[in-house]
Structure 1
């Protein structure tokens, strides 16, 4: 009886592993940053440049890339967040929904200031609703939404940098 139970458990585990492998699941093993970009530093300018650069730096560290003084520089320029009202309450005239947009430009330079990746534009949008019954929560919600916007912008920048044909062609 015990052997049938053990075989059943092994069979289920095997099926689970096959299912996970089939859907693309893999354990993180090392950095996905190409050798040419290892040690990449991040620099930002503009009203939101510091927050966006910090978010990118955090994502790079999570991926095992730690900046070096002689590493390439991911330069984020003119980063700012704009906000637009997209929904107003017909009864009270109070704004109910906002659209936050992160604007920035980014490029990658080697340590000799030679362009590895030319300047590209970034545009990330998020909407959020306003609860007029709890205005203090809305301030906290705004902070969370801006943090989320920076994290999404950081992931989009890194995805575009790491998957750029220019970076992939130049090899490691």
Structure 2
């Protein structure tokens, strides 16, 4: 009798696995590096270009890419972060909520300087709230928000580049 509950759980697990696979559910995995992008290097320009390029490079390294001097180049140009106030306290007139916006232009060029992915704009937005009760926490919030913005930008760049049909097709 003691085997029946275990056997039932085993069958339940198999049934759930089959159902989830049948409906299109898959665990999220990182996109693999297409063969044409192996050894991809990253360079950034603009006030936030270096920080964003570092975030993209770290994400690529986690996926197994190691930059090579002769590899293609992912360019992140004119990267900057803008910030605007989106909410003000009616009582004190103090800013309560901000919107950080990351702007850049991304492209990929081959080692022969041929454009592999035409320049395209990047826009990432992230809001954060101000804690008027603890001004020191606000500085920490802003630093955390900026880091989060760069990580979101890096993920968006990699999604676009690694999943681009230009790189998923076999090399002619």
Q: Which runs of 5+ in 2 are unaligned?
A: none
Is contact 1:34-1:171 (8 Å) kept? no
What's the RMSD between the two structures over aligned residues? 1.9
Is contact 2:84-2:100 (8 Å) kept? yes
Is contact 2:31-2:163 (8 Å) kept? no
Matches within 5 A, 1:21-32: 21=21, 22-26=23-27, 28=29, 32=32
- Name the structure 1 match of 2:143: 143
TM-score (norm 1): 0.90
Matched, 1:70 2:75: no
- Name the structure 1 match of 2:128: 128
Shift of 1:58: 1.3
Quick one: structure 1 residues 31 and 69, their matched pair in 2 at CA, closer, same or farther if it must change by over 3 Å?
farther
TM-score (norm 2): 0.90
How far apart, CA to CA, are the structure 2 residues paired with 1:43 and 1:101?
20
Runs of 4+ displaced beyond 4 Å = none
- Name the structure 2 match of 1:50: 50
Q: Which runs of 5+ in 1 are unaligned?
A: none
Shift of 1:18: 2.4
Matched, 1:17 2:30: no
Q: Which moved more, 1:15-24 or 1:47-56?
A: 15-24
How far apart, CA to CA, are the structure 2 residues paired with 1:14 and 1:120?
44
Alignment length (residue pairs): 171
- Name the structure 2 match of 1:103: 103
